[in-house]
Structure 1
Amino acid sequence: MTSPRSTTFEGPTVTIQRVAQQCVLTRVFPPELVDAVVAEAGRVERRQRLLPARVVVYYVLAMALFSGSSYEEVMRLLVEGLAWESGWQRAWEVPSKPAIFMARKRLGSEPLQLLFGAACSPLAAAATRGAFYRGLRLMSLDGTCLDVPDTAANDEAFGRPGSSRREGGGAFPQLRLVALSECGTHAITGAALGPYTSSEQELTDQLLGALSPGMLCLADRGFYSFERFQNARRAGAQLLWRVKSNMVLPRERPLPDGSYLSTVYSFSDRHAHRDGAQVRVVEYGIDDPGVPQAEERYRLLCTIEDPDRAPASELAALYSERWELESTLDELKTHQRGPRVVLRSKQPAGIYQEAYGYLCTHYAIRRLMHDAALRADIDPDRLSFTRGLRAARRSTRSHPGFSPPDDRRRPTASDQ
């Protein structure tokens, strides 16, 4: 006799496959939205081309989905199985690499940046497991760097890390990325990009406007400054940020759960104790000999001052959720892009375009996985990102879901 569980429960793999019956890219970024951001960026064509802007946007997304394929092969995979009533496909051949390069150059990076901003918002619903703490949406800030091709233009625009083994610095120039991510779904909902020579802190300042009431934002000790903490606080989100162990935090009012209230000041006002801001401090250690640096003390600044709303023991346990963004960035850099693989573009503008393409495509995969988790009533963390990536690739090849803008004139080779 078959058990009730086996007849009603869909395994994670089956659930992802069922949800991916529509092209993952056009499901999240429908053609109407793509056309809107192209128009907003002023990239609408004045004449019909072999590679219209709409197609090039999807091509950039597909580059991030099929990162191991050549330029021409990415285009073949993208248009595989299409049946366009306009006759565009019947008159169309896979463009050459130079034609694709020129189409990407015409498009620029702004449409992809606008697309990311328009579509990539928090995913978790009330029923999403592991995405909230006492009604607050868990978010996290963190940064990383992406290797870019070693060209003179990229080296000048981005810079590279120092290296004692190589004259002039590390092996590759690098693009710096700071991301704001939803912990429970691994969806990156905000991103700031800049050269390696920029700091994570200044890029973080560009993301604070993405915080909003109803969020609880986690951040490591490298992100704290008085001004940055206050600006994030003014955005309306609750904060749980780690600070350095040598920061002076007088114990002004002990609280029943072991935490205490203190006052923080800007660097210039700390000695005069002028224009300070009250915070709650949670201090704890990890008592586990199996954990490196187990004796290290953690100090967290929290804007939730009432211990009944957020007990110190829960906040200490909650801070580990910040590491979910480490996993998210690993998905982006290692699984989606490929280990030890640099971005493709030889010019800085192409690097920014490609990076936003990676961010958009990662979000589309994570939305697929979130929807599958909701359907199966499981935590999204239980689903394999690699399986989600494979399902997204299959859906793009079998259900592309887009066409070029309708135009009865068939393009010719001179339109390249």
Structure 2
Amino acid sequence: MPRPGQVKSSTGERFSDRIALGVLTRAFPPELVDEVVAGCGRVEQRRRLLPARVVVYFVLAMCLFSGQGYEEVARLLTQGLERERRWVGTWRVPTTGAIGRARLRLGPEPLRVLFARVCRPVAVPGTVGAWYRGRRLVAVDGTTFDLPDSEANAGFFGRPGTSRGQGRSAYPQARVAVLVECGTHVVFAADVAPLAVRETIAARRLFASLEPGMLLLADRGFHDFELWRAASATGADLLWRIKGNAVLPVLASLPDGSYLSEIFAGHDRRRVDPIRVRVVEYTLGPGGGEEIVYRLITTVHDPSAAPAAESAALYHERWEIETALDEIKTHQGGPGHVLRSRHPAGVEQEILGVLLVHHALRDLMHHAARDVDCDPDRLSFIRTLRVVRRHVTGQAAFSPLPTRRRTPRHPV
């Protein structure tokens, strides 16, 4: 007698072959997921209640419905097929423990490959707000995710110290560096690392995704000679804020008020290997009050290609990456959100799932904005998230309800 998870329809399909997630299935079609799963060697040797393709979609669904328990997410994926009589037979909802073991079998690699295959910049030449004089605006930044307090997570990722230096934080944290397309908020490169890995090191791993025709924005926390050298070597142009105490000799004054200068490696005391940069300085602040001095350096040396006033205004587009991270952590995840995964491999898998879901939402918003020729920033991420959640639950004929979560025997 076949197991419930192996019940077939009259066409010979398995129940799990019919699983779909609306917008997420559009962004990550079954054929692509199957190809990625096979390429990563995760194809099952025997029929399971939770085949690898279903587990991939489960991870995406749990990152869309961050407040739901494992078993409710599993019902969301499948119950509607029975209620709409699109399936003859029964399908047993897996237990929390079974789902945890299935996530362990899958591991993070298929999600990593799926991210690399799908998550690219999406702006086209007509996308409003995504370009500056033919250059695609992108930004780099980092953030942290709170993790469940398990020995495995604490041992691998580490904990931050408290603000007063007394003890350590209640939660381990993972460091995540990202590249974001400013005009669409699409994350197109990401690196997940332990907290001890410096933000600049994690960011450098992303530079393979930069290319000529991009203009990379970064705040002063990323100013580092070697990091600048590595980023500029990709052919992308750079516009970074620099620390106020950096020594920038004036080599030549330019008509727009900017000037040419040089930066050096911190260990290069003889200054024999400089990099030529152009410097833009300006102040912001209320009249008569305290003003903040901004100093920007750029690879665009010709002031006619990026005048100082425009460069100063352009730098503040970097805040779009802060907005994208807020969408991911506060709205998609929820205020005070702590990831589910109690094992490092599951943490990376889950973070990649969160980023994949955000990419699907933002790509959908980009297409909607193009249809009406407006800036994607004018569309509400929160409303889009709600619409997509309703669409998925409506498709499954199921309204998710909170449930009591069980502790899996093999947590991930």
Measured in 1, the distance between the counterparts of 2:211 and 2:189 equals: 12
Question: Is the CA contact 1:82–1:89 (under 8 Å) kept in the aligned structure 2?
Answer: no
Q: Which moved more, 1:29-38 or 1:115-124?
A: 29-38
Q: What's the counterpart of residue 112 of structure 2? A: 113
Q: Give the secondary structure class of the aligned counterpart of 1:93.
A: coil
Pairwise CA distance, 1:89 = 7.0
Q: What's the counterpart of residue 304 of structure 2? A: 308
Higher relative contact order (CA 8 A, sep 6+): 1
Q: Give the secondary structure class of the aligned counterpart of 2:80.
A: coil
Q: How many residues align?
A: 376
> Which of 332, 345, 348 does residue 349 from structure 1 map onto?
345
Q: What's the counterpart of residue 210 of structure 1? A: 209
1:368 aligns with 2:364: yes
Whichever residue aligns with residue 331 of structure 2, its letter is: H
Measured in 2, the distance between the counterparts of 1:118 and 1:89 equals: 35
Question: Is the CA contact 1:218–1:240 (under 8 Å) kept in the aligned structure 2?
Answer: yes
Question: Is the CA contact 1:285–1:294 (under 8 Å) kept in the aligned structure 2?
Answer: no
Q: TM-score, normalised by structure 2?
A: 0.87
Q: What's the counterpart of residue 230 of structure 1? A: 229
1:389 aligns with 2:388: no
> Which of 309, 319, 323 does residue 319 from structure 2 map onto?
323
Pairwise CA distance, 1:67 = 0.5
Measured in 2, the distance between the counterparts of 1:264 and 1:164 equals: 33
Measured in 2, the distance between the counterparts of 1:245 and 1:235 equals: 27
Q: What's the counterpart of residue 199 of structure 1? A: 198
Q: What's the counterpart of residue 129 of structure 2? A: 130
Whichever residue aligns with residue 224 of structure 1, its letter is: H
Q: What's the counterpart of residue 280 of structure 1? A: 278
Measured in 1, the distance between the counterparts of 2:310 and 2:277 equals: 17
Pairwise CA distance, 1:348 = 1.1
Q: What's the counterpart of residue 172 of structure 1? A: 171
Question: Is the CA contact 1:64–1:337 (under 8 Å) kept in the aligned structure 2?
Answer: yes
Q: Give the secondary structure class of the aligned counterpart of 2:81.
A: coil
Measured in 2, the distance between the counterparts of 1:90 and 1:284 equals: 69
Q: 1:110 to 1:365 in 2, by over 3 A?
A: same
Pairwise CA distance, 1:165 = 7.2
Question: Is the CA contact 1:80–1:398 (under 8 Å) kept in the aligned structure 2?
Answer: no
Q: 1:193 to 1:89 in 2, by over 3 A?
A: farther
Pairwise CA distance, 1:396 = 2.4
Q: Give the secondary structure class of the aligned counterpart of 2:320.
A: helix
Q: What's the counterpart of residue 181 of structure 1? A: 180
Alignment deviations for residues 49-106 of structure 1 (CA, whole Å, 9 cap, x no partner):
110100100100001100111101111112243379xx97734221111111111110
Alignment deviations for residues 318-363 of structure 1 (CA, whole Å, 9 cap, x no partner):
1110011111101100000010120001111111111100000010
Alignment deviations for residues 101-148 of structure 1 (CA, whole Å, 9 cap, x no partner):
111110001111111111000011111110100111000011111100
Whichever residue aligns with residue 344 of structure 2, its letter is: P
Q: Give the secondary structure class of the aligned counterpart of 1:81.
A: helix
Measured in 2, the distance between the counterparts of 1:38 and 1:71 equals: 21
Question: Is the CA contact 2:81–2:87 (under 8 Å) kept in the aligned structure 1?
Answer: no
Q: Which moved more, 1:385-394 or 1:99-108?
A: 385-394
Q: 1:80 to 1:390 in 2, by over 3 A?
A: farther
Q: 1:76 to 1:22 in 2, by over 3 A?
A: closer
Q: What's the counterpart of residue 48 of structure 2? A: 49
1:296 aligns with 2:288: no
Pairwise CA distance, 1:399 = 4.4
> Which of 333, 355, 358 does residue 354 from structure 2 map onto?
358
Measured in 1, the distance between the counterparts of 2:62 and 2:302 equals: 48
Pairwise CA distance, 1:181 = 0.2
Q: Give the secondary structure class of the aligned counterpart of 2:176.
A: strand
Q: 1:225 to 1:89 in 2, by over 3 A?
A: farther
Whichever residue aligns with residue 385 of structure 1, its letter is: F
Question: Is the CA contact 1:262–1:281 (under 8 Å) kept in the aligned structure 2?
Answer: yes
RMSD between aligned residues:
2.1
Question: Is the CA contact 1:80–1:397 (under 8 Å) kept in the aligned structure 2?
Answer: no
Q: Give the secondary structure class of the aligned counterpart of 2:393.
A: helix
Measured in 2, the distance between the counterparts of 1:166 and 1:62 equals: 38
* Runs of 5+ unmatched residues, structure 1: 1-20, 401-416
1:64-83 paired onto structure 2 within 5 Å: 64-82=63-81
Measured in 2, the distance between the counterparts of 1:99 and 1:252 equals: 66
Whichever residue aligns with residue 257 of structure 1, its letter is: D
Pairwise CA distance, 1:268 = 2.1
Measured in 1, the distance between the counterparts of 2:176 and 2:361 equals: 19
Measured in 2, the distance between the counterparts of 1:326 and 1:89 equals: 48
Pairwise CA distance, 1:394 = 2.4
Q: Give the secondary structure class of the aligned counterpart of 1:82.
A: helix
Q: 1:63 to 1:313 in 2, by over 3 A?
A: same
Q: What's the counterpart of residue 268 of structure 1? A: 267
1:36 aligns with 2:32: no
Pairwise CA distance, 1:224 = 1.5
Whichever residue aligns with residue 217 of structure 2, its letter is: L
Measured in 2, the distance between the counterparts of 1:89 and 1:287 equals: 67
Whichever residue aligns with residue 208 of structure 1, its letter is: F
Measured in 2, the distance between the counterparts of 1:245 and 1:167 equals: 30
